[in-house]
Amino acid sequence: MNAKDAVARRIQTLCSERNMAINALANRCGIPPSTIYSMLSAKSQNPGVVSIQKICDGLEISVREFFDDPLFEKLEPAVN
């Protein structure tokens, strides 16, 4: 799995755990819903760290907590 896919899965999992729709998350973190949806799809290949931090703020978790998941343990190399 690459980092972009892991970030997308993590956002979806965290929202699911909280019974939170993507639009509700967008409202809580001050990011347009289209930005989050593009992070979840193939449109955005490089989700920005500032956007991830805002998402974490909306989920009331730290960036460390966001990345503290087995999804991020064995990522594909970013450079081939």
Residue 62 pLDDT class (50, 70, 90 cuts): very high
pLDDT class of 80 with cuts at 50, 70, 90: low
Secondary structure of the chain in HEC code, one letter for each residue: CCHHHHHHHHHHHHHHHCCCCHHHHHHHHCCCHHHHHHHHCCCCCCCCHHHHHHHHHHHCCCHHHHHCCHHHCCCCCCCC
Sorted by where each starts, the structural domains of the chain and their CATH numbers stand as: 3-72 (1.10.260.40)
Q: Are 39 and 51 in contact (CB under 8 A)?
A: yes
Name the pTM for this structure. Answer: 0.90
Average pLDDT on 55-62 reads 96
